[in-house]
Structure 1
Amino acid sequence: MATQIDRRSLLAGAALGGVTLAGATAQAQSRTGQAAREVYELRTYRLVNGPMKERLDAYLRDAFIPAARRAGCGPVGAFTVTIGPGSPGLYVLVPYPSIEDFVALPGRLAGDKRYAKAAEPFSNAAPGQPPYASLDVKLMRAFPRFPRVEVPGTSGSNTDRIFELRTYFSHSDTAGATKFGMFDTGGEIEIFRRTGLKPVFFAQDLTGPRLPSLTYLLTFPDLAARERSWSSFGSDPAWRRLIATPGLTDPEITTGIDNQILKPTPYSEI
């Protein structure tokens, strides 16, 4: 089940991709005074229509999210897919203070008696009543200049609020680093903010099927606000100059983009 994710395999894959996950990173942050960068686990639960989602919702709401918060993780986001591939499905975003906290979570859950009690229906699910069809996990690390999740405010109707999950893929490490730099140091995040594209996180993907890649999450009061903000962004003079710069054009540094519109569940903390 969800507590049995093979974290060692995920970390091994990240290391093979040339990612330094612990000691050297901490030393560099200490030297530069940078804020500690969160590590994100993005769980993708694949579902089938019927009672499956209700069972998974109960586990996440009553067992996993409260226990993860007691373990020092969070805020935890839980989202359903409304536009794009993956429906029916559920995304769960778990921020960790460090990679060590990601590795330690299963042990902390195992020692949490309240979690064990609340998770019994999930942990002991019968083969004919599974809580999900399959589970994929992606591990990410926050950008240096966007080191922590930014939880959106509560103004407006939460029933209308949407989130947009986007992943950019590149053909080489050099191209991926260039796209990463456009956001982190090249001013693209500032253009996002100015034009109403409110970010929740920006992260480098450490694991995944199409590395190198980066992922970010935006939020909007509703779909109409999303359309207005993207229109404003597309016509922004600073963005037009940036995207036309030789070496920074999409054909040179990106091979594709995945995009989904999500809705927060009633129990989502983001």
Structure 2
Amino acid sequence: MSAQGFWELRLYEMLPRRLPDMHHQFAREVPPLFERAGIPAPLAYWDCFAGPMTAMLAYILHWPDLDARMAAWGRFYTDPQWWKQYEDAHGGEQMLERSHVLVLRPSPAWSAAPSGPHLQAGLHELRMVDLLSQAAGAAHDALVQVDLPCIEAQGAQVLGLFDQVMGQRLPRAVVLLAWPDLATREAAWTAHAVDPAVMRARTNEHQTHGAPLVGSTEAFLLRPAPYGARWAGD
């Protein structure tokens, strides 16, 4: 898949008992409406089982440009069939607590195109990493040269590294990872915390920039939904 364009990551915080209803809607009812509006089929869907937002449904879209995105969502939200589906699905009750929309582009430091989540089944991880504001480019370099190689050596598969261009708490990097299992993930991040190369990098960053380039992180553990993943053939 091309590394050009933009990605849109949408996160829906659900009422826990309504999460199955939302999955049903996106698996069966929404795809024809997306196609009619010109919204590309999502590359993957997930639900979250650990992190700051549980009972969360997430999906990601790939857009050629932001004008195409705006036009397609405009068509979708003026489609009467969508509003009928919306009312039928909700049944007069609340489903959604709140939604978050992040617009991303590939990290300027990362040369690989985003890979598909199917490449390693099981556990996926979404990490939102705060970056030092006065040195965001150097922070992306540090992730590519220091942090990601460390966790890849411990069993992670990097699905994508992105620069968040719209959303809250900028500048921020967004990382998508796949793990074979939870134990591997836990051991990898424990090793990362004490890795000599990582520790040296943070010390050097503090000396050069006055603070580490990579700041606090929100991490979400995700289960791929059994529908929608298509990065392999995109």
Partner of 1:208: 167
- CA distance in 1 between partners of 2:193 and 2:32 (Å): 40
Aligned partners of 1:265 and 1:250: how far apart in 2?
42
- 1:44–1:104 Cα change, 3 Å: same
* 1:93-128 superposed Cα distances (whole Å, 9 cap, x missing partner): 22223323322322564799xxx7688422555572
Instruction: Name the counterpart of 2:124.
Output: 163
Letter in 1 for 2:201: L
Counterparts in 2 of 1:60 and 1:146: CA distance versus 1, 3 Å: farther
2:103 to 139, 159, 174: 139
Identity %: 22
Indicate the SS of the match to 2:166: coil
* 1:106 pairs with 2:85: no
Of the three residues 194, 216, 219, the one matched with 1:259 is 219
User: If the length of structure 1 is used for normalisation, what is the TM-score?
Assistant: 0.68
1:41 maps to which residue?
8
The residue type paired with residue 131 of structure 2 is: S
Query: Does 2:113 match 1:148?
Result: yes
Shift of 1:164: 1.1
For residues 215 and 231 of structure 1, the distance between their equivalents in structure 2, rounded to whole angstroms, comes to 20
User: After superposition, where does 1:181-192 map in structure 2 within 5 Å?
Assistant: 181-184=141-144, 186=145, 188-192=147-151
Mind listing any 5+ residue stretches in structure 1 that lack a counterpart? Answer: 1-34
Q: Deviation at 1:77?
A: 1.8
Say if 2:180 is the partner of 1:221.
yes
What letter is aligned with 1:245? N
TM-score norm. by structure 2 comes to 0.77
Contact 2:132 2:211 in 1 (8 A): no
Work out whether 1:176 is the aligned partner of 2:136: yes
**Displacement of 1:180:** 1.3
Give 1:82's aligned residue: 49
Structure having the higher strand fraction is 2
Distance 1:148 1:60, change over 3 A: farther
Output one character per residue of 1:220-242: Cα deviation in whole Å (capped at 9) or x when no partner.
12112213433554565654543
Other-structure match for 1:55: 21
Residue 59 of structure 2 aligns with which residue?
92
Counterparts in 2 of 1:126 and 1:79: CA distance versus 1, 3 Å: closer
Higher relative contact order (CA 8 A, sep 6+): 2
Change (3 A) 1:154 1:90: same
Report how many aligned residue pairs link the two structures.
226
The structural deviation recorded for 1:217 is: 0.9
